[in-house]
Amino acid sequence: MIAKSYEIEKNISLFLKHNFFLIYGENFGLKNDIKDKLINEIKKNSNTEILSFYENEIIENEDNFYNTVFSGSLFSSEKIIIINSSTDKLLKQIENIEEKKPENVNFIFLSNILDKKSKLRSFFEENEKTVCIPCYLDNQRDLETIASIELKKENISLSREALNLLVEKSNAD
């Protein structure tokens, strides 16, 4: 299933029935925001253990990764496993895990730009049990809105020229 980033931001709880999330794209700030929101929303409901891996760690030691996924935890009722730098190389492991449906384990896969031919992207887009969240660069208007909201939160006032300069220097991220 494909979810737009603004849908996640509006009502993240609708997507928590799924436990496989792929967040990809070139907007690093948006990817981190979505990842943090997912983690915070999942942690609300239970005592949660957060584990982080890189793709090469999983490929080099697959047995250790499977043990981590399928073993229970003494101190927490739920796990969040974050996999950084995900590519098509992980598809076999993802399919194996998704097929066995581990309980109380949520997966967040972070990736850079994935083209339309990517097997990983296709798997997450076409599977109803997974969520694919593309994070594209923001346009000028979106950046102005985001900057204005954040500045208001901190009670900072800027002139229009200063705000435009800030948005211009952001490199659309």
Which residue, 67, 42, 40, is CA-closest to 53? 67
- The pLDDT tens digits of the residues spanning 19-33 come to 899 999 988 888 998
Distance between CA atoms of residues 114 and 138, nearest Å: 17
- Helix boundaries (H) for the chain: 5-10, 28-45, 55-60, 62-70, 91-100, 119-126, 140-153, 160-168
Determine the Cα–Cα distance for residues 145 and 55; give it in Å rounded to an integer: 35
Q: How high is the mean pLDDT of the chain?
A: 85
Nearest to 98 by CA among 119, 78, 69, 77: 69
The predicted structure's pLDDT at residue 134: 92
| Residue 173 pLDDT level (bands cut at 50, 70, 90) | low
The token duo for 88 is 């098509």
**The pTM of the whole model exceeds 0.85:** no
Write the CB contacts of 21 (distance below 8 Å, at least 6 apart in sequence).
Answer: 15, 38, 106, 107, 108, 109, 130, 131, 133
Between β-strands 105-111 and 48-54, what pairing exists: parallel, antiparallel or unpaired?
unpaired
Q: Give the confidence band of 82 by pLDDT, cuts at 50, 70, 90.
A: very high
| Residue 110 in this model has a pLDDT that exceeds 90 | yes
If one counts every other C-beta atom within 10 angstroms of the C-beta of residue 168, the result is 11
pLDDT digits (tens, 9 = 90+) for 83-103: 999 889 988 989 988 888 888
